[in-house]
């Protein structure tokens, strides 16, 4: 089964340092080799927002005021159980420090 983990930044998050990069690099490499990590990436702040209402689709360019809510990164993982995904998420959060992540199972092919 596949899970998508999306992460949001925290206001008091520590600035990334050398140690974080090294740990993160090793973590990503380990999960890629094990075939667990299918895709991952960081996301631009802001982006483009599309809102549909009736027949209208409104397109707004970022940045947006509520940047705290913004998703800054994602990871798509292939795991055997929810618990496995949670365990991976746990390891990830320990590396990146303060903030929050969301785990959701991906349905479909």
**Interacting residue with other proteins among 20, 24, 28, 38 (CB under 8 A):** 38
Token pair of 14, please? 């520590």
**Interacting residue with other proteins among 55, 65, 83, 107 (CB under 8 A):** 83
Position 39 contacts other proteins (CB under 8 A): yes
CA–CA separation, 57 and 62 (whole Å): 16
**Interacting residue with other proteins among 44, 46, 94, 106 (CB under 8 A):** 94
Position 84 contacts other proteins (CB under 8 A): yes
**Interacting residue with other proteins among 22, 60, 82, 106 (CB under 8 A):** 82
CA–CA separation, 97 and 30 (whole Å): 19
Position 109 contacts other proteins (CB under 8 A): yes
CA–CA separation, 25 and 81 (whole Å): 24
Position 81 contacts other proteins (CB under 8 A): yes
Please, which of residues 61-80 interact with other proteins by CB under 8 A? 76, 78, 80
Q: Containing H/E element for 25?
A: helix 18-33
Query: Cα Rg for the chain, rounded, in angstroms?
Result: 16
Cβ 31 to other proteins shortest distance, Å = 11
How many alpha carbons fall within 13 Å on the CB side of residue 27? Answer: 19
């Amino acid at each position: 089964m596949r899970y998508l983990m999306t992460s949001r930044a925290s206001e008091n998050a520590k600035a990334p340092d050398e140690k974080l990069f090294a740990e993160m690099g090793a973590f990503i490499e380990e999960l890629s080799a094990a075939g667990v990590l299918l895709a991952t990436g960081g996301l631009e702040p802001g982006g483009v927002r599309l809102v549909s209402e009736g027949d209208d689709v409104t397109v707004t360019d970022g940045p947006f005021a509520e940047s705290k809510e913004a998703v800054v990164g994602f990871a798509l993982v292939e795991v055997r159980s929810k618990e496995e995904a949670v365990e991976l998420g746990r390891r990830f959060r320990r590396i990146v420090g303060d903030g929050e992540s969301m785990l959701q199972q991906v349905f479909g092919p």
